[in-house]
Amino acid sequence: MLHSPSLEPAPSVGNLTCEYVARPLAVESAAPRLGWVTRYSGKNWRQSAYRILVASSPERLAHDEGDLWDSGRVATDASIQIPYDGKTLRPRQACYWKVRVWDGSGESPWSKPAEWEMGLLDEASWQGGRWIGGDPGSTAAPYLRRGFTVEGKVVRARLYASGLGYAELHLNGKKVGETTERDPGYTNFDKRVLYVAHDVTSDLKRGANSLGAILGTGWYDVHDLATWRFEKAPWRGRPRLKLALFIDYADGHTQAVGSDASWKTASGPIVFDGIYTGEMYDARFEMPGWDKPGFDDHSWKPATEAPAPKGVMTARICPPVAITQTIKPVAIEEPKPGVYIVDFGQNFSGHARLHVEGPEGTEITMRYSERIGPDGMIERSQIEQFMTKETPPQPFQTDRYVCKGQGRETWEQRFSYSGFRYMEVTGFPGKPTLDHFEGRFAHTDFESAGSFECSDATLNKIQRATRYSYLSNAQSIPTDCPQREKNGWTGDAQLAAEAGLMNFQSASFYTKWLDDFSDDQQPDGRVSVIVPSGGWGYGACHPAWDSAFPIVAEDLYDYCGDRRILERHYDKLRNYVDYVASQTKGGLVPFDSLGDWVPWKTETPSQLTSTIFLCIDARIVAKIATMTGKEEDARRYADLAETTRAAFVRKFFEPTIPAESQTALAMAIYFKMLPPDLSKKALDALVQNVETQGHIDTGILGAKFILRALSEGGRSDLAFKLVARKEQPSWAWWIEQGATTLWEDWKGESSLNHIMFGDVSNWFIQWIAGIGLDPAAPAFKHILIHPQPVGGLTWAKATHESPYGPISSSWRRNGSKFHLDVSIPANATATVRLPDGKTTEVGSGTYSFDCAIPT
Ligand code: RAM
């Protein structure tokens, strides 16, 4: 029976996704996972069944014909992560799909149709697209081009391309992907090379067309010298391109245009580009019209065929890096004659766009910085320290532009990025004004998935700063900082992943990074502390960092219901845990390793934190083994977790508990390392420590878990104080100092844009506003609503776009009167715990509650 909208609220199905994406154009999984969101205006909606149709054409789908797959009516409440189970899909196959659902009383209408397309899947599908490069004797960025002819009516055109380090593609005089930059993305190129698919159907025209590419060095051809030795990366080579354009015509035939020796190349205005260095662009070498049909390329040389990189071609499944915001500067000063300092008012990752009018040959230099010194000049000693000193010194975070001298010129770099708030400009012709510059915020372009706001302006600023830091550090991989290192430091990423998943649709980004992890693992199980690594950072293990591998995989399961990620990496996770276990003595991690990094005052032994992480890792492996029916493994790793835990308690909590270390106490409590009586004592000790000291006294590990341990222990009031006290050390102190992003340490002595203290945003959403995850029911299938009206807040609200749909929690208090509004998505349920301790079980829908806050 179809729901009758006039008689009752009818469910409607939308937000169809395939592998986390609305319309992916290059899916490589043989069984892509589908999901949808049901909207229902009433209460307590639960799905009782679904039916999915996947068709080979929109027409067939419109006739309810699932010629690729008709799931039939499947009785289940599952509505996310449903694997396709139809006919084998071919390379480039387009799949059109829709879904309808049932509840106890009827069926929904069909959803609007959605689609996905399969990627190239194998080498043969590239149909002549070969690796080509520019003039091997030139260090400038190669330009490549080729013309082709379109005859007949085009129904679909797809451009598949990979360029190392980066490729900016052009079609008929226009950049492909207007705002994207640094495509296709960063991987261990000896293991995996990304390619990207573009829908270019509407960019083609009948007759002469022109394809082009500009290649950058990126992480593939690092020539700057720095601590992490990427110039010695085994994959290093000169930039190269592989591309295949497929044009499907109305008459059924397909034309393929591939990158091959018929392409031509020249060096243009990008004289130099480097991932740490920046870019040098000489506009006098521009080649107007190079990317348009009819361009005279007779002086260009034939492109050279380049050896294929070793890595497997893999479709990029996560969003591209893109420019998402243009930031107007707020001030400009001239601390020395001819030296201008531009203040963008916000720390961010990206670059500046320059508008200038000057005589031919005028060279303008823009050097990016997070700080200015007392003399008003940029101050970069904290972030330059890892760059190898050279004579003459290599440029760092520096863009240079040489004018062609033809009126107003506008330029921005393409192949590098910087972390900055300030910019020093020298060589500018005349006196620049604010209108001459714009900041361009560039990072992996996620959709937002969450928000938090409350009555305390400082907390709102911390939330905003966290989002800026998170985005600044999402650059195809999760990084530590956008200025100094740009490295995929694993510890930083594992600490920030939950805040990332709550605030942004970042699942596909972490899925990609876990592949990077798997690629970097050595046969003995070891992983590097930066991922990807060009060979640096293996050595002894560092469980607090290395555990990013199992922990982020588990986060994807907890926050998105992604079981496949656990299965896919199982063997490698086990191999990693075996490696760490082989290093232990008496159940403990015996050596010094990275631990509670950048502590305030009290240092916590790294053996203590590392042993906790080994226990967590073993538990995760045991959990996956249990889920997948591997009983012997399940027992073995549960035993390992338990012996590690017991050894931990003996060594670090008996006979006395480490009352001086907030980190040790908080982590032991939060990770359930202690028997109940000891856990209770540890919580009392933690509360006492915090009350006596009156401030946070941890590094990055403790800072994440102390807020949770206190909140779970009923002391969100204390956690709030740690965050919001305006004196050093605290998050709010940073804001008081003018921070617009989160800093690397409590002292403010290093980078000013790190994300490793960023779980505070997750705590805002999950505890202060109260949208809590229930790991027993992944993906917020069941939600723990537990708002915390503490710290004098009069209201707080948060939202989260969960896999089942939008969740919101909004509360206000007036004296002891407390009011809460919540919204639970269809097909999910929640337990609501009010500040008076009363709990209510609810189904989907919107609800309001009132209570008195006990004094
Ligand atoms: C610093 C990084 C990073 C941290 C490592 C251990 O250099 O910036 O944040 O994880 O050290």
Amino acid at position 714, single letter: G
**CA pair distance 720, 708, nearest whole angstrom:** 11
Residue 756 CA: nearest ligand 1 atom is: 9
CA angle 345, 350, 354 (to 5 degrees): 80
Residue 597 CA: nearest ligand 1 atom is: 6
What torsion do the CA atoms of 519, 322, 288, 247 make, to the nearest 10 degrees? 70
Does the CA dihedral 187-188-189-194 come out positive or negative? negative
- pLDDT for position 395: 87
**CA pair distance 769, 673, nearest whole angstrom:** 28
- pLDDT for position 388: 75
Does the CA dihedral 436-442-447-448 come out positive or negative? negative
530 CA to middle of ligand 1, Å? Answer: 9
For 253, other C-beta atoms within 10 Å of its C-beta total 9
Predicted TM-score of the model (pTM):
0.98
Whose CA is closest to atom 4 on ligand 1? Answer: 489
Whose CA is closest to atom 8 on ligand 1? Answer: 480
Residue 485 CA: nearest ligand 1 atom is: 8
Reply yes or no: is the peptide bond before residue 482 cis, omega within 30 of 0.
Answer: no
190 CA to middle of ligand 1, Å? Answer: 25
Residue 492 CA: nearest ligand 1 atom is: 10
Cα separation values, 469 from 214, 348, 500, 767, Å: 29, 7, 10, 21
Split the chain (855 residues) into runs of 10 and give each run's mean pLDDT.
Answer: 62 97 97 98 97 98 98 98 98 98 94 98 92 95 98 97 98 95 98 98 98 98 92 97 98 97 97 96 98 97 97 96 98 98 98 98 98 97 80 84 97 98 98 98 98 98 98 98 97 98 98 98 96 94 97 98 98 98 95 96 98 98 98 98 98 97 98 98 98 98 98 98 98 98 96 98 98 98 98 98 98 97 98 98 98 92
**CA pair distance 530, 499, nearest whole angstrom:** 20
Whose CA is closest to atom 1 on ligand 1? Answer: 480
539 CA to middle of ligand 1, Å? Answer: 16
Residue 754 CA: nearest ligand 1 atom is: 9
743 CA to middle of ligand 1, Å? Answer: 12
Ligand 1 cavity residues, CB under 6 Å: 480-481, 485, 489, 491-492, 594, 597, 754, 756
Whose CA is closest to atom 7 on ligand 1? Answer: 485
383 CA to middle of ligand 1, Å? Answer: 12
474 CA to middle of ligand 1, Å? Answer: 15
Residue 594 CA: nearest ligand 1 atom is: 6
Residue 484 CA: nearest ligand 1 atom is: 8
385 CA to middle of ligand 1, Å? Answer: 13
566 CA to middle of ligand 1, Å? Answer: 27
Residue 491 CA: nearest ligand 1 atom is: 10
The answer to whether the beta carbons of residues 440 and 412 sit under 8 Å apart is yes
- pLDDT for position 276: 94
480 CA to middle of ligand 1, Å? Answer: 6
Whose CA is closest to atom 5 on ligand 1? Answer: 489
465 CA to middle of ligand 1, Å? Answer: 19
**CA pair distance 499, 478, nearest whole angstrom:** 12
The torsion angles phi and psi of 66, rounded to 5 degrees, stand at -90, 75
Q: Checking DSSP bridges between strand 839-842 and strand 437-444, what pairing results, if any?
A: unpaired
572 CA to middle of ligand 1, Å? Answer: 24
The answer to whether the beta carbons of residues 95 and 87 sit under 8 Å apart is no
62 CA to middle of ligand 1, Å? Answer: 54
Q: Which residues contact 700 (CB under 8 A, 6 or more apart)?
A: 491, 492, 495, 596, 597, 598, 756, 757
Mutation to probe ligand 1, out of 472, 492, 742 (largest number of atoms < 8 A from CB): 492
Helix (H, G, I), strand (E, B) or coil at 643: helix
Mutation to probe ligand 1, out of 475, 489, 545, 609 (largest number of atoms < 8 A from CB): 489
Residue 489 CA: nearest ligand 1 atom is: 10
Mutation to probe ligand 1, out of 475, 480, 756 (largest number of atoms < 8 A from CB): 480
Whose CA is closest to atom 9 on ligand 1? Answer: 480
Whose CA is closest to atom 11 on ligand 1? Answer: 489
